[in-house]
């Protein structure tokens, strides 16, 4: 089940990044709002659901099965916190700087997760290709695009 929820969480983020680039030159505020609401808001909330409600299948998917899923809940709660913070500044019109800050925070969080998955891939005896491609490289690229939009918004707001 976690695999299906993982795919569901990737979809809004990918669509959001696509439309973010689509609107970036003509309507940068709209682009930033779309990227923030989808890559942080929707994706963070779905990640919470995956880590908390489907923690057993998610841990199995990651190769981190445990009898004590407390850390899975903690990761889920962090995703929920970011997810809510990804929705609030967009719908409450708090401006580009708050959206950029949320994007940058979640991007840094995901960069670190990407590095952890990369470390686990290279240090584990059993090499899981999904960990390398999806959990490490795809997450790294996803976080990089989020950071791009955050930096773009910060630089644009300075002018």
- Per-residue pLDDT of 118-142, as tens digits, reads 998 888 888 877 778 878 899 999 9
3-class DSSP assignment, residue 63 = coil
Rg (CA), the chain: 16
CB atoms < 10 A from the CB of 121, how many? 20
**pLDDT at residue number 70:** 82
pTM check: above 0.95: no
- 14-18, 37-41, 116-120, range with the lowest pLDDT: 116-120
CB atoms < 10 A from the CB of 55, how many? 19
- Per-residue pLDDT of 83-108, as tens digits, reads 999 999 999 999 999 999 999 999 99
**pLDDT at residue number 3:** 62
Contact 9, 30 (CB under 8 A): no
- Per-residue pLDDT of 61-71, as tens digits, reads 777 777 787 88
Q: How far apart are CA 155 and CA 159, in angstroms?
A: 7
């Amino acid at each position: 089940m976690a695999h299906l929820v993982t795919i569901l969480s990737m979809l809004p983020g990918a669509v959001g990044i696509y439309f973010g680039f689509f609107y970036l030159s003509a309507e940068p505020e709209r682009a930033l709002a779309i990227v923030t609401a989808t890559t942080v808001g929707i994706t963070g909330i779905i990640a919470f659901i995956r880590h908390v409600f489907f923690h057993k299948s998610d841990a199995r998917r990651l190769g981190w099965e445990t009898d004590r899923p407390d850390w899975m809940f903690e990761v889920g709660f962090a995703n929920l916190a970011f997810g809510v913070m990804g929705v609030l500044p967009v719908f409450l019109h708090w401006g580009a700087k708050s959206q950029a800050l949320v994007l940058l925070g979640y991007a840094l969080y995901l960069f670190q997760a990407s590095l952890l998955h990369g470390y686990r891939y290279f240090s584990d005896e059993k090499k899981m290709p999904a960990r390398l491609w999806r959990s490490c490289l795809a997450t790294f690229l996803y976080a990089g695009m989020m950071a791009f939009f955050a930096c773009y918004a910060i630089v644009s707001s300075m002018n």
